[in-house]
Structure 1
Amino acid sequence: MELKEIQNLIKFVAATGVAEVKLEIDNVKITIKTTLEGSTPEITYLQQAPMQQSLPQAAATTLAPAAPQAAAAPVAVDESSKYITIKSPIIGTFYRKPSPDKPMFVEVGSSIGKGDVLCVIEAMKLFNEIESEVSGKIVKVLVDDMSPVEYDQPLFLVDPS
């Protein structure tokens, strides 16, 4: 990957408003983190992986699960422990509406029941409805509409009472 392509990728990520993007091509790993308020990149890491094939795969499997857990921990600490976190069951693009001209599935303050559709996550051109496994009231939506989400990423906070 050339420097110009990396610069274009940084500009694209900053323009979309995504908080973090990780990309791995062959033996090059790129992580781009942007600030939530603005559109300027905060941190960009370029890491050259060793050429040995078995070692990077083992390291990737060890390090990959640690990052989402570390990101999820502050949410649990910041919010009251009485709330239930609904997490993404798949990787994809998060949508709060069934289509652009329809209303959102749920808003902050909406009462939900078990089995109610909360959002849609698009993965490989398939739109997967994400249903609630709990009843309660939506306290907070943790992901912006049309944002990429990762497996086990917190999406909603629900007050079960």
Structure 2
Amino acid sequence: MELKDIQNLIKFVAKSGASEVKLEMEDIKITIKTGSDDHKGEMTYIQQMPSMSVPQQQMVAQPQSQATTSETSPAATEDSKYVTIKSPIIGTFYRKPSPDKPMFVEVGDNIGTGDVLCVIEAMKLFNEIESEMSGKIVKILVDDASPVEFDQPLFLVDPS
């Protein structure tokens, strides 16, 4: 099973609303747990088994990829006109410069190139994430004070 298949499976499970999914094959075991309101985020555990059987792996992985593609394609076509701003680093996402300050951006705000959209804290350093384009914020994809991964979508922007 390739990394892209695993990422697609995680996205599919998160959108489905399931709290836990376990997948076991001869060569790999995967457990995906989505958090409750108290513990947001996704946790994925992958355990590689010693023996590897490529033909069976392909037979099992292929239907999952097809299911994921068919389920997410309508959403992907709706959002295709928007540009996704992704996290350049791993850290904690903050929408405000400090707790007593207003949010950097809200849905519906017009942004310009170089505008600060959020802050990501990594190793006690606060990194300002600036817009590389002009447009209008359509959707904020991450909750304030949530952990983010590298290349995780943060904002949807309408460039028109």
Shift of 1:33: 2.3
**Which residue pairs with 1:116 in the alignment?**
115
Decide whether aligned partners of structure 1 residues 30 and 91 sit closer, same or farther in structure 2, where only a CA change above 3 A counts: farther
Contact kept in structure 2, 1:113 and 1:134, CA below 8 Å: yes
Q: Which runs of 5+ in 1 are unaligned?
A: 1-18, 20-28, 52-69
**Which residue pairs with 1:80 in the alignment?**
79
Contact kept in structure 2, 1:30 and 1:44, CA below 8 Å: no
**Which residue pairs with 1:10 in the alignment?**
none
State how far apart, in whole Å, the 1-side matches of 2:121 and 2:159 are: 27
Shift of 1:81: 1.1
State how far apart, in whole Å, the 1-side matches of 2:118 and 2:39 are: 29
User: Any idea what SS the aligned residue of 1:148 has?
Assistant: strand
Q: For residues 45-88 of structure 1, give each alpha carbon's deviation from its aligned partner in whole angstroms, at most 9, with x where no partner exists.
A: 6555579xxxxxxxxxxxxxxxxxx9xxx597164311000000
Decide whether aligned partners of structure 1 residues 39 and 108 sit closer, same or farther in structure 2, where only a CA change above 3 A counts: same
Q: TM-score, normalised by structure 2?
A: 0.59
State how far apart, in whole Å, the 1-side matches of 2:43 and 2:116 are: 36
**Which residue pairs with 2:34 in the alignment?**
34
Q: Which runs of 5+ in 2 are unaligned?
A: 1-18, 20-28, 51-67
Q: What code does the residue aligned with 1:151 have?
A: F
State how far apart, in whole Å, the 2-side matches of 1:78 and 1:35 are: 27
Q: For residues 65-119 of structure 1, give each alpha carbon's deviation from its aligned partner in whole angstroms, at most 9, with x where no partner exists.
A: xxxxx9xxx5971643110000000000000000000000000000000000000
User: Any idea what SS the aligned residue of 1:82 has?
Assistant: coil
State the identity %.
Answer: 74
Shift of 1:35: 5.0
Q: TM-score, normalised by structure 1?
A: 0.58
**Which residue pairs with 1:99 in the alignment?**
98
Q: For residues 125-153 of structure 1, give each alpha carbon's deviation from its aligned partner in whole angstroms, at most 9, with x where no partner exists.
A: 00000000010000000000000000000
User: Any idea what SS the aligned residue of 1:77 has?
Assistant: helix
User: Any idea what SS the aligned residue of 2:102 has?
Assistant: coil
Please provide the CA RMSD for this pair.
3.5
Q: What code does the residue aligned with 1:126 have?
A: L
